[in-house]
Structure 1
Amino acid sequence: MLSILKISIFLMFMVSFGFIFIMIIEQSSFLSYFTFLEKMTCNNNKNFPKSNGTTSHVNPSYILRQGNGIIFLETGNRAQPPSLVLCAIESAARVYHDRPVAFFTNGLSDMNSENDKDSAQMKIPILSSFPNVYIFPLKLEDTFKDTPLLSWYQRVKGTYESYWVNIISDGCRLALNWKHGGIYMDTDVISIRPIAVKNFLAEQSSQFLNNGVFGLSPRHTFAWHAMEDFVKNYNGAIWGHQGPQLFTRVLKKFCDISKFTAIEDAICGNISYFHPQCFYPIPPPSWRKYFETWDKFPTFNDSYGLHLWNKKNSEHMTMVPGSNTLVEHLYQQYCPTIYRAV
């Protein structure tokens, strides 16, 4: 009887030990697997801080600290950007996958706390799959602080200005670029290949610049001179006076803008200025060509990006899936995530 009891106790001990051993192994495997996933996630996003509240470093100064970011602006009040804006951001996030892409939008102006800023990404969830995209509320006084534009902004009455949204956009892009450097792009520019040059401006047409795309290092003298001219020669009644016309007249103070004889960069000091083919191969009067069908799509081999002239699009033409238009082709190739969501 005693032997049977000893055997029973031994068997119960072995079963208990085996169960505990299995639990330890399974837990160890689970933790190893979890650690592996965590390492994979960290490795994939190691250059870009998360914007979901896990870090206090998600602010423009930190994200754009290296001076090589891509900056987009929305100075209207749209909380949900149209597909062309999202396509522009996605295309930049793909082309400049190793750089931060910052979208400053007035549509999030009600956000004030750091937690609000951290959760801004979720306001446009379709962009959350791109770890290098950051969304920030556009705070005008903060943007203009420590620049010549602050005193102008504090005294001008925007409600009386015919082109106020455009004027504010012209000012913000200069101030943000002065502070952070990098590349500014309009939200109707689809990126197709990276720009290797750090300091550049681009012609829209012969001897006439456009401020829809430009790149400068932080604290560049051109940006400062442009802001000073913006204030000194301010005229809100003329469309583009603080935009393309401003860039053209400021550059002319430093260099003679000669006509291009070939598709190659010209140089003014430490600034390159690009041929119109680089961003404006389809000129403003022909903007509808983006929404037409083509027998053979152009290659745009001489372009870094394509400006779709949304300002001209008073008919509110959009990309229609299945239309076989040039703009559909561009969406499919350069912003496939947005294309599938339309």
Structure 2
Amino acid sequence: MGGRINFSLVTLKKLKEKYDNIHLISFNLDDYMAKTPLEYWYHCNGWRDGPFHVSHLSDGLLFLTLHKYGGYYFDLGVISVRPVTDLRNFVAAESDDYLGSGVLHADFKNPVMELAVKDFAANYRSDVWGHNCPALLRFQFLKNWCKAQDLLEMNYVSCHEFNVLHYSSFCPVYYSVATKEFFIHRLANQSLPAWLTDQVVGVNTWNKLTYNKPIYKNSTHRYTLLARNLCPSIFAIAPEIF
């Protein structure tokens, strides 16, 4: 069962007052999985016994939701820089040779998402955190779809109207230097970083690796600078440490 949403939360009320396109729903997972390629996996695979079961359930729901309804998906660690509505049917590369699934869009009934759901169920592994979602779109899956051997060969034509965006679009900072880049103190009145170019649509701050880093609203961390400038309404209602 999906948990109940507490609509009385002050933060949620403020967000809904500011953004009229926020809609929160709860649903029954049994019903959501029924008659989908994930129904057998959900009831019979034993994924609940794995060490990453919560994360893997989220991964499966990501692909299933995009397959069912289409739409945009962004990891919680992605800070939006500019609108993305002119970008459709894409996955963002994380480096020159790695495709994650932290940033995705698919139109309703896009065949790539249907194949992703089926591949998730068929090749699921409970013992490896990154096998099922981040790595699922990495090589073999899209190699087969695009008939390509590497990322350089994957484009809108070869991938049948599905785009592979360059890593500079959403991952201008490599994951291995994320902590140093986003969470060290800097001089006051710092300017925006040089990597924040016109090609950047969003900034992945790699939440999996940095979620335990406290953010102080009055700090000179680069994360704080980005949040203050790019997400002013949310930053205003955030607590002093978030």
With structure 1 as the length reference, what TM-score do the two structures score?
0.61
Q: Residue 303 of structure 1 aligns with which residue?
A: 200
Whether 1:191 aligns to 2:80 is yes
**1:30-179 residue pairs with structure 2 within 5 A?**
109-111=2-4, 121-123=7-9, 124-129=12-17, 130-179=19-68
- Counterpart check, 1:246 vs 2:120: no
**How many Å separate the matches in 2 of 1:141 and 1:202?**
31
The question of whether the paired residues in 2 share the 8 Å contact of 1:162 and 1:236 is answered with: yes
Which of 119, 123, 126 does residue 233 from structure 1 map onto? 123
Give the superposition deviation at 1:336: 1.5
Report which of the two structures shows the higher radius of gyration computed on alpha carbons: 1
RMSD: 2.2
User: Residue 258 of structure 1 aligns with which residue?
Assistant: 150
Which amino acid is the alignment partner of residue 160 of structure 2?
G
Distance 2:232 2:27 in 1: 27
| Separation in 1, partners of 2:92, 2:151 | 13
Letter in 1 for 2:120: F
> How many angstroms does 1:313 deviate by?
2.2
CA separation of 1:185 and 1:146: change in aligned 2, threshold 3 A: farther
C-alpha deviation, 1:135, in angstroms: 1.2
Q: Is the 8 A contact 1:208 1:244 kept in 2?
A: no
Which residue number in structure 1 is paired with residue 169 of structure 2?
278
Provide structure 2 residue ranges, at least 5 long, that are not aligned to the other structure: none
Say which SS state the counterpart of residue 225 (structure 1) adopts.
helix
Query: What residue identity is the alignment partner of 2:233?
Result: T
Q: Does 1:317 align with 2:213?
A: yes
String of CA shifts for 1:101-127, please: whole Å, max 9, x gaps: xxxxx8xx343xxxxx7xx54343232
Paired residue for 1:291? 183
Aligned residue type for 1:210:
G
Q: Tell me the CA shift for residue 171 of structure 1.
A: 0.3
Distance 1:321 1:259 in 2: 39
- When residues 139 and 247 of structure 1 are mapped into structure 2, their CA distance, relative to the original with a 3 A threshold, is farther
Partner secondary structure for residue 244 of structure 1: coil
Q: What TM-score does the superposition give when structure 2 sets the normalisation length?
A: 0.84
Q: Measure the CA separation in 1 of the matches of 2:74 and 2:151.
A: 24
Amino acid at match of 1:122: S
Consecutive unaligned residues in structure 1, runs of 5 or more: 1-105, 112-116
Question: Following TM superposition, by how much is the alpha carbon of 1:204 offset from its aligned partner in structure 2, in angstroms?
Answer: 0.8
User: Which of the two has greater helix per residue?
Assistant: 1
Whole-Å separation in 2 of the counterparts to 1:329 and 1:258: 36
Would you say the 8 A contact 1:177–1:216 is kept in 2?
yes
On the 8 A contact 1:207/1:257 being kept in 2, the answer is no
Structure 2: distance between partners of 1:274 and 1:150: 31
1:62-121 CA distances to partner (integer Å, 9 max, x unpaired)? Answer: xxxxxxxxxxxxxxxxxxxxxxxxxxxxxxxxxxxxxxxxxxxx8xx343xxxxx7xx54
SS of match in other structure, 1:245: coil
Q: What amino acid maps onto 1:126 in structure 2? A: K
What amino acid does structure 2 have at the position aligned with 1:285?
S
Amino acid paired to 2:14: I
Q: Quick check: 2:67–2:117 contact (8 Å CA) kept in 1? A: no
CA, structure 1 residues 260+303, in 2 after alignment: closer, same or farther (shift >3 Å)?
farther
Contact in 2 for aligned 1:184/1:214 (Cα 8 Å):
yes
Identical columns (%): 26
Aligned pairs, number: 224
